[in-house]
């Protein structure tokens, strides 16, 4: 995905120097989701798994950040400009403008035996002070563009049923598969994996 920017905001690929702030936002998201003890990763884990220490290694995940300039959050007058910006904007480099990170997204590729390559969106987060300014739509559209450029047939993600962002995702065209197709999401935790392979 080419870096996408407008006055006040930029969406770009995460860089190694961003990772300590990304870890902080992962914790903020966990706190919001009422699971403060959930995150167990370190910056070193993200460096390793994201391929930040070895350019030749295939990353386990891809990450993007949302960055604001020093002027602070966009006001209501900027909302229309942010959500109707031309795509893509391709600046000369992806260096941070101010390192004022206000959001992040982590995703990875998965595969559907029905539709082929797909993008699994693990996290998307915008800090509370920057919500309601059109940034969410800018960020989500940028991720959709990344999925399209990567030849993904769909984007999959999970949302807690009480999260007010569900209305936003529906507005963006997302379908609740639990409602529409009766799918349930299951997980085999590490302890269950250990038990299965040792019993």
- Cis amide prior to 115 (ω within 30 degrees): no
Residue 107 is encoded by which pair of tokens? 């995703």
CATH number, span 9-72+96-198: 3.40.630.30
pLDDT tens digits for range 12-49: 999 999 999 999 999 999 999 999 999 999 999 999 99
pLDDT tens digits for range 126-180: 999 999 989 999 999 999 999 999 999 999 999 999 999 999 999 999 999 999 9
Report the b/e string of 68-82 with b at 16+ CB within 10 A: beeeebbeeebbeeb
Structure confidence at residue 117 (pLDDT): 98
d(CA 189, CA 194): 9
Structure confidence at residue 92 (pLDDT): 33
CB atoms within 10 A of CB 103: 25
Stated pTM of the model: 0.83
């Amino acid at each position: 995905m080419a870096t996408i920017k407008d006055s006040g905001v930029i969406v770009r690929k995460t860089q190694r120097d961003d990772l300590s702030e990304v870890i902080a936002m992962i914790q903020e998201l966990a706190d919001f989701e009422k699971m403060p003890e959930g995150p167990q990763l370190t910056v070193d884990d993200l460096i390793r798994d994201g391929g930040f220490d070895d350019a030749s290694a295939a990353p386990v995940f891809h990450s993007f950040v949302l960055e604001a300039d020093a002027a602070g959050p966009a006001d209501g007058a900027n909302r229309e400009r942010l959500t109707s910006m031309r795509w893509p904007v391709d600046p000369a480099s992806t260096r941070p403008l101010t390192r004022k990170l206000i959001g992040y997204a982590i995703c990875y590729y998965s595969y559907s035996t029905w539709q082929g390559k797909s993008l699994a969106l693990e996290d998307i987060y915008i800090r509370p002070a920057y919500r309601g300014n059109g940034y969410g739509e800018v960020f989500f559209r940028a991720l959709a563009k990344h999925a399209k450029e990567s030849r993904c047939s769909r984007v999959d993600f999970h949302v807690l049923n009480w999260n007010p962002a569900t209305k936003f995702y529906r507005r963006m065209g997302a379908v609740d598969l639990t409602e529409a197709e009766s799918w349930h999401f299951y997980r085999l935790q590490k302890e269950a994996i250990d038990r299965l392979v040792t019993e």
